[in-house]
Amino acid sequence: SQQGEEDPQALSIQEGENATMNCSYKTSINNLQWYRQNSGRGLVHLILIRSNEREKHSGRLRVTLDTSKKSSSLLITASRAADTASYFCAVMDSNYQLIWGAGTKLIIKP
């Protein structure tokens, strides 16, 4: 069953702006992961945040996790055309199963 839910479903911004995507979930988790998928291609792992972590950075990516609200956000700073892709959150539950959301489609306009 799908428990990760991304918001918004689609986001279109100008190059150079920041993009924020949110993910909500229902179960208790071991960790939460974010992936990027370019059109029709395989998913690429971006960042993993453990349940006892609140914030994590990787280059232009910043992920926050609020376990009390069962939510996470992915911030991409100074967006580039190459960031155009779909972004998925996936939560790993207590049985080590990864549960996926339906994704946010991000379009960066030049």
Closer residue to other proteins in complex, CB, 41/57: 41
**Cα 64 to Cα 30, 56, 85, distances in angstroms:** 15, 6, 20
Radius of gyration of the chain (CA): 13
Question: Is residue 104 at the binding interface for other proteins, with CB under 8 A as the rule?
Answer: no
- For the bound state, the minimum distance from the C-beta of residue 43 to other proteins, rounded and expressed in Å, comes to 5
Minimal distance in Å, beta carbon 96 to other proteins?
4
By the rule CB under 8 A, 88 interacts with other proteins: yes
Cis peptide before 110 (omega within 30 of 0): no
Quick one: tokens of 102? 């339906």
Partners of residue 65 on adjacent β-strands: 72
CA dist., res. 35 & res. 37, Å (int): 7
Query: Is position 87 an interface residue for other proteins (rule: CB under 8 A)?
Result: no
Task: Calculate the CA 74 to chain-centre distance.
Answer: 5
Q: Which is nearer to other proteins, 44 or 81 (CB)?
A: 44
Q: Is 92 in the site for other proteins (CB under 8 A)?
A: yes
- Which residues here bind other proteins, judged by CB under 8 A? 1-2, 4, 30-31, 33, 35, 40-46, 48, 50, 88, 90, 92, 96-98, 100-103
